Amino acid sequence: MLYFSKLRVISVLIFTLVISYFALSNFLKFDDDYFAKNIKLGLDLQGGSYLLLEIDNSPVIIQKLQNKLSSLKKFFKEKNIRSTNFKIIDDRKISFVVDETTSDEVLSLLNSKESEINPYFQRFKTHEFDVEETKVWSSSNITLQFSDYGLVLLKNSSLDQAIEIVRRRVDEVGTNEPNILKRGNDRILVELPGLDDPARIKTLLGKTANLTFRFVTQSTEESFGTEKLKFEDGSEEAIVSKRIILSGDNLVDAKPSMDTQSNQTVVNFTLDRVGSKKFGKATSNGVGKRLAIILDGTIISAPNVVEPIIGGSGQISGDFTFQSATDLALLLRSGALPAPLNIIEERTVGPDLGQDSIEAGIFSLIIGFVLVVLFMIYKYRIFGVIANLALISNLFLLLGILTLFEATLTLPGIAGIILTVGMAVDANVLIFERIKEEVKNEKNYIIAFDSGYTKSRTTILDANITTLIAAFILFFMGSGPIKGFSVTLGIGILTTLFSVYFIARLFTAFFVIKNKNKENLI
């Protein structure tokens, strides 16, 4: 029946008022931190930059293979297992040869879950590596390559590390509420609201920031233990040793400053205890030599070591502006990325365009809302007014729930709100048309109205549930703006059902019970 208990009436009113209060916090200022929540605006509404980064795991895989190869050599040497011809094939496999007499022992060690080799090479067969053997005369050729599971572990690890370092770099720049998310197993989404010039961020995120200190050799040609590298300005080249004296892992802090003697901008760095010891020993033995400071394979500077540096701090000089020195210090503080990041997609929305989108979205919502209100009043008179009151409550409920979860509103999200208005009216139209049919056969208005609500329920639920399923699919399968649309649409469906079957029905019940003896109520 249309009867509502006092408890249900009070519950509906309290719920509606509380959620509406959250909706109002977007327009009014509240002192209470808990209630002072707001809907966040997406990049397409407030302006900003969108970057989709893809991590290149090839260098990580090669490095891991090289480390494992060294560990194998060391282990076999300690166990007196004769092994030769160690090499990495196609940057994917480790290959080596052992005597046929020891191949079974080696395979047993490699395939064992709790092998003696574990301290040097961890576990092979069980997780990270697949092992294969090929018989060649009196010897066995053994190859190791990453298993599918091992590759997933490696990619997830490097992606998690990359996300953390990207977050540090972005936070250091001071952008407003950045959004950094994992996309799949090799992509990172970076949303930077309010940033309309992403050039600096792109430069910072595009650098791996792999810092090493190596001595410059006196030779003029590359050899087995050396390589030729260019200086950052491209003015010259130098042959440097491949032996790393110190890496960026030993840095504790880095800051830009002005060198009073040379009147140049420099970067001062501080080392940890292990790094200080290494640096002091290397510079003590290398007095008179040039020490190359290398960032991502490029020599930043190569000063002469005049005296041992034993204080655990040093200075990087070069042709720096204060901005470039600040960025270099930021890169060194945040740490090196495990692998290079490539920008595969970028979008920038200016604040003016975002404001135009907001105004256009609000204008379209107002136009649609006014037309719906006028139609409902013209078609259903007083019940049209009730439907409109429920519609207004529906919008407040939708905004309130979005505010409660501090959701991000995008332009497609506004489209979802507009669609919610149409669906809410559609439900009321179905109910009122059904009530008209019931009134023809039932003279008791209370029974007729109650039957109208009851008999239209299945149709309304079927229509809204199928749309809700579509919203769920869009949310879990889509990304970015599509998710924004699905969120507002999904919440809008739930608030629509609440406003139709609780708020509108409550008002309708009050009116019908009070005017049950009048004719032509609808």
Predicted TM-score (pTM) of the model is 0.66
* Gap between the Cα atoms of 304 and 287, Å rounded: 8
Instruction: Give 329-347 pLDDT, tens digit per residue.
Output: 988 888 888 888 999 988 8
State yes or no: pLDDT of 121 exceeds 60. no
Q: Are 391 and 375 in contact (CB under 8 A)?
A: no
Mean pLDDT (the chain, rounded): 84
Among the residues of 79-131, which ranges form H helices?
Answer: 100-111, 118-121
Q: How many CB atoms lie within 10 A of CB 422?
A: 12
Tracing tokens 């916090």 back to the chain, one arrives at 25
Nearest to 181 by CA among 191, 173, 172: 191
State yes or no: pLDDT of 376 exceeds 50. yes
Average of per-residue pLDDT across 52-67: 87
Instruction: Give 291-322 pLDDT, tens digit per residue.
Output: 999 998 899 888 888 888 888 888 888 788 88
State yes or no: pLDDT of 177 exceeds 80. no
Average of per-residue pLDDT across 483-505: 90
* Gap between the Cα atoms of 14 and 260, Å rounded: 68
User: What pLDDT, on the 0 to 100 scale, is given for residue 14?
Assistant: 92
Q: How many CB atoms lie within 10 A of CB 222?
A: 13
Two tokens at 304? Answer: 């002469």
Tracing tokens 């050396």 back to the chain, one arrives at 226
Two tokens at 509? Answer: 């019940």
State yes or no: pLDDT of 125 exceeds 80. no
Nearest to 232 by CA among 166, 316, 173, 289: 316
User: What pLDDT, on the 0 to 100 scale, is given for residue 135?
Assistant: 78
Instruction: Give 377-422 pLDDT, tens digit per residue.
Output: 998 889 999 999 999 999 999 999 998 888 878 888 888 888 888 8
* Gap between the Cα atoms of 154 and 62, Å rounded: 12
User: What pLDDT, on the 0 to 100 scale, is given for residue 270?
Assistant: 92
Average of per-residue pLDDT across 195-218: 84
User: What pLDDT, on the 0 to 100 scale, is given for residue 511?
Assistant: 87
Pairing of strands 291-295, 246-247: unpaired
Q: How confident is the model at residue 138 (pLDDT cuts 50, 70, 90)?
A: confident
Q: Are 404 and 19 in contact (CB under 8 A)?
A: yes
User: What pLDDT, on the 0 to 100 scale, is given for residue 114?
Assistant: 41
User: What pLDDT, on the 0 to 100 scale, is given for residue 73?
Assistant: 86
Average of per-residue pLDDT across 159-167: 90
Which residues on neighbouring strands pair with residue 48, listed in sequence order?
193, 349
User: What pLDDT, on the 0 to 100 scale, is given for residue 119?
Assistant: 44
Q: How confident is the model at residue 107 (pLDDT cuts 50, 70, 90)?
A: confident
Could you tell me which residue, 123 or 157, shows the higher pLDDT? 157
State yes or no: pLDDT of 194 exceeds 80. no
Tracing tokens 């996300």 back to the chain, one arrives at 163
Instruction: Give 2-23 pLDDT, tens digit per residue.
Output: 667 888 889 989 999 999 888 8
Two tokens at 410? Answer: 């995008």
User: What pLDDT, on the 0 to 100 scale, is given for residue 229?
Assistant: 93
Give the H or E element holding residue 425. Answer: helix 411-441
User: How big is the chain by its Cα radius of gyration, in Å?
Assistant: 34
Q: How confident is the model at residue 439 (pLDDT cuts 50, 70, 90)?
A: confident
* Gap between the Cα atoms of 434 and 141, Å rounded: 81
User: What pLDDT, on the 0 to 100 scale, is given for residue 36?
Assistant: 66
